[in-house]
């Protein structure tokens, strides 16, 4: 079914996931407004009707101000905001990293994305529920050495989804983990000399032997969570690959999410396992 007159804003159409999502939104009849850093990565969509792309580096305030002026001039109103920005660098131990590079990574993988949402929030379609989608990454539930900037940024985004949900009744805000995808981000792991050998071999095996998460599944999961709204999706962290958002158990998942406000949120694990009695 065509979604006429709906606008999806995608931060970083030039990322692998961002490009695939843009193509699917366009195919479903949406208008897509998006950003890119390198034009060569958006050639598949740059000439399509209803696709409007703007060069933007999200850690540069001047670029975001230019984006705001574009929205004002064109009177853009978005119903869905998606941030597909991601950069694994620097792949190094914390004390071995150049701290400016480490800080810049946090800016790219978290602060810049939140700033973009902050400046574009006034341009949401008022009077209806707007959707905000971020992407989680590996390492949130464990430690992947040499990736502290990237993973710490993703954890902050997970928690910010909870804050944004609690503070805004007209936003359906959630974050999803897409699983392994064959994108430029994972290629960084293979190219970096600082990648731990275990992580390198794991990634190499993936690229040689696996297809990765189907991009259609990522799109379908986002659409399902947008349709289900805040009572199911709001403030939560979902896995495209491991959660039962499709198939025979999805109704059970919906009931569990609606009954447990702590489910799929950043919480201590087994914090009641051992109870101290004075």
Residue 269 lies in a domain: no
Residue 273 maps to a domain: no
Q: Is residue 156 part of a domain?
A: yes
Does residue 272 lie within any of the structural domains? no
Instruction: Return per-residue pLDDT of the chain as tens, 278 residues.
Output: 344 579 999 999 999 999 999 999 999 999 999 999 999 999 999 989 999 999 999 999 999 999 999 999 999 999 999 999 998 888 889 999 999 999 999 999 999 999 999 999 999 999 999 999 999 987 788 888 888 999 999 999 999 999 999 999 999 999 999 988 877 777 777 777 777 777 788 778 877 877 789 999 999 999 999 999 999 999 999 999 999 999 999 999 999 999 999 999 998 766 666 665 55
- Bridge partners, residue 53, by sequence: 34
Alpha-carbon span 253 to 138, nearest angstrom: 23
- Assigned domain for 188 exists: no
In which residue are the tokens 């999806």 written?
8
CB under 8 Å to 76, separation ≥6 — which residues? Answer: 7, 9, 33, 70, 123
* Domain-located, residue 19: yes
Domain at 163, CATH number: 3.40.50.720
pLDDT value, residue 56: 96
- Structural domain that includes position 173: 7-182+214-259
CB of 84 closer than 8 Å to CB of 135: yes
pLDDT score recorded for residue 1:
37
Q: Is residue 26 part of a domain?
A: yes
Asked whether residue 264 is assigned to any structural domain, the reply reads no
- Domains identified in the chain, total number: 1
């Amino acid at each position: 079914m065509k979604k006429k007159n709906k606008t999806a804003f995608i931060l970083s159409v030039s990322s692998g996931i961002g490009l695939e999502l843009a193509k699917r939104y366009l195919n479903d009849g949406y208008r897509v407004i998006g950003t890119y850093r390198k034009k060569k990565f958006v050639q598949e969509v740059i000439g399509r009707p209803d696709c409007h792309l703007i060069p933007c580096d999200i850690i540069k305030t001047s670029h975001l101000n230019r984006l705001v002026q574009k929205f004002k001039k064109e009177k853009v109103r978005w119903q869905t905001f998606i941030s597909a920005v991601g950069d694994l660098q620097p792949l190094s131990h914390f004390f071995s990293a150049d701290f400016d590079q480490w800080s810049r990574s946090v800016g790219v993988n978290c602060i810049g994305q939140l700033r973009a949402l902050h400046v574009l929030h006034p341009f949401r379609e008022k009077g209806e529920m707007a959707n905000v989608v971020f992407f989680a990454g590996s390492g949130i539930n464990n430690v992947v050495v040499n990736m502290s900037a990237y993973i710490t940024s993703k954890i902050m985004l997970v928690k910010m989804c909870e804050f944004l949900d609690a503070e805004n009744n007209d936003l359906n805000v959630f974050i999803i983990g897409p699983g392994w995808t064959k994108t430029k981000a994972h290629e960084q792991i293979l190219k970096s000399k600082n990648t731990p050998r275990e992580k390198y071999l794991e990634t190499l095996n993936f690229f040689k032997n696996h297809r990765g998460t189907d991009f259609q599944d990522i799109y379908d999961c986002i659409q399902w969570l947008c349709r289900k709204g805040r009572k199911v999706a709001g403030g939560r962290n979902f896995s495209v690959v491991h959660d039962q958002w499709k198939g025979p158990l999805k109704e059970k998942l919906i009931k569990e999410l609606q009954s447990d406000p702590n489910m799929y949120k950043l919480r201590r694990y087994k914090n009641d396992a051992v109870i101290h009695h004075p």
